[in-house]
A and B are shown apart, each in its own frame.
Chain A
């Protein structure tokens, strides 16, 4: 038994001859990177909220249409850095042309929670000191936010909300002096149930997070590097 490798890498999927696989790959890319991209455009490029929304939508649509991602060379840079540089260039070009002309391109607009992303800006620093660091941190933050949301949904779908509630109280947002006993007391369950639920939640969290990471990594090597950096785990080839 090992850590899961649930999906192919992005590069493999965007290069697929199957249009559906390609479209799904771009969907995963957009799902994992839209929010860091939005925050980056708002803070680094100082775009207005509507401009940033349009730019993010248009960027992923154009990347799909013009095959930006297929040009990525793993020997040159990290995929995240490549994506950020593409975004920079895209915005530079965008400023020379009307956003509306760049939109669409055969790809449907994504349903993204831009008002939610905008609200998060209130909690963030006013400026970006290091663009690469910022994009990395925001990507990791969004990856975990999506993972936690997936965990909550999976627990609810399995009729095991209690697993998520234990996880939430002990790991996600613990009150000061939280212990197995205090969580057990608060939720009216035994301490051994708390440890069992936590075990299940943590394992599912790891599997979901690695699955997300796998889908957002351009290559197998990058996936292994990211897993090592993020979790200290060695994923066997």
Chain B
């Protein structure tokens, strides 16, 4: 028996979990990454002659919560047809029981790489608006992401922004008047069927999300009550991160951090971020669409809902918004006055 070198052991570890997909359809090429729920591989779709990414569950049992979560993620992605969400092409089960789904292979930069190459408030707001619009689309479709953070955002080769990793997403009930239903929690309470025999993967008391981007209700482990406002909190933290380079520790810390930035963001933009990061979910924007609307107002130079203006601020914003017109008018009036002065008797 020969001594195995470290690289041989690494290959054997990879080989032991290598997914056995139909070889006439998919050729697995290399692992791209592994997370708590599954591993992602770069693969080649022989039939359609294109590169794809394949996510394979870590757990084989058909009743396992991880497998149920991967199914859930694939279904959420398939349900959300939007340019900012990676499309799912195919899904199925491996011979050993592990579930997989096939999605578009995304080429591009991580959000961190993109920000490093495109600094400044205007660039940050441009990319953030795309992210928020994608999340707003998901909210409108009754889906909450619950784990928005920089590493889950990619910027494609043509500038398209993609929101990834919907593995802990939650579907909301059609009518918002009822409390939000955690699908895994519901699966736990419902009698098991052949289709939904999954155990609880997100029971109440489970923390879901990433520190720094996690809403207070998620930090408390109250996963069941984390609705669209939890995503709004994460979006606020993302916008803060885009401007400051670090996630906010608290809403107060964020306010201090933004005020100390050079150049300092305007009071209205700081107010928008502050509203997103409010401790109480009721004090935040109700969903991402409301945030997108307010951000649109900010970018158009209009008053924002997050910040009630004083008369002076309104005048200042008016001057700022119509600066060119006011300057032209002032120049015109100055010329008129000058010529009037020349013609004086």
Listed in ascending order, the chain A residues whose CB lies under 8 Å from chain B are 1-3, 113, 116, 120, 123, 140-141, 144-149, 167, 171-174, 180, 192, 195-196, 198-199, 201-203, 205-206, 209, 228, 230-236
Contact = CB atoms under 8 A, between A and B. Distances in A.
Contact of A205 (B3, B8, B15, B27): B15
A167 B58 CA distance: 23
A232 B4 contact: no
A234 B8 CA distance: 23
A53 to B, nearest CB: 17
A228 B60 CA distance: 13
Contact of A231 (B8, B17, B66): B17
Contacts of A196: 23
A233 B95 contact: no
A145 B2 contact: yes
* Among A147, A149, A235, A236, residue most surrounded by chain B Cβ atoms (within 10 Å): A236
Given A141-B9, A233-B58, 18 more contacts: A1-B60, A2-B97, A141-B4, A144-B4, A144-B8, A145-B1, A145-B2, A146-B1, A167-B15, A171-B11, A171-B15, A172-B12, A205-B15, A231-B13, A231-B16, A232-B17, A232-B34, A234-B59
B305 to A, nearest CB: 45
B186 interface: no
Contacts of A148: 4, 12
A171 B12 contact: yes
Contact of B16 (A2, A174, A192, A202): A202
Contact of A202 (B2, B18, B58, B60): B18
Interface of A is mostly: helix
Contacts of A140: 9
Contacts of A172: 8, 11-12
A201 B18 CA distance: 11
Given A196-B23, A199-B20, A234 B66 contact: yes
Given A141-B9, A232-B17, A1 B96 contact: yes
B137 to A, nearest CB: 32
Interface in B69-108: 95-97
Contacts of B12: 144, 147-148, 171-172, 205, 209
A147 B1 CA distance: 11
22 contacts: A1-B96, A2-B61, A2-B97, A116-B1, A141-B3, A145-B4, A171-B12, A192-B24, A205-B12, A209-B16, A228-B58, A231-B16, A232-B17, A232-B39, A233-B58, A233-B59, A234-B58, A234-B59, A234-B64, A236-B60, A236-B61, A236-B63
B58 A232 contact: yes
Contacts, number: 88
Contacts of B20: 199, 202-203
A203 B96 contact: yes
Contacts of B23: 192, 195-196, 199
Nearest to A205: B16
Contacts of A171: 11-12, 15
Contact of B95 (A1, A174, A209, A231): A1
Contacts of A235: 59
Contacts of A144: 4, 8-9, 12
B149 to A, nearest CB: 21
Contacts of B59: 233-236
B8 A230 contact: no
Given A199-B20, A203-B20, A209-B16, A145 B96 contact: no
Nearest to B34: A232
B58 A1 contact: no
A26 B18 CA distance: 32
A62 to B, nearest CB: 26
Nearest to B93: A1
A15 B30 CA distance: 44
B289 to A, nearest CB: 37
A142 to B, nearest CB: 9
Nearest to A233: B58
* Among A147, A148, A231, A232, residue most surrounded by chain B Cβ atoms (within 10 Å): A232
Interface string B32-65: 0010000100000000000000000011110110
Contact of A2 (B39, B66, B96): B96
Contacts of A3: 60, 96
B34 A120 contact: no
B17 A233 contact: yes
Contacts of A236: 59-61, 63-64
A149 B12 CA distance: 13
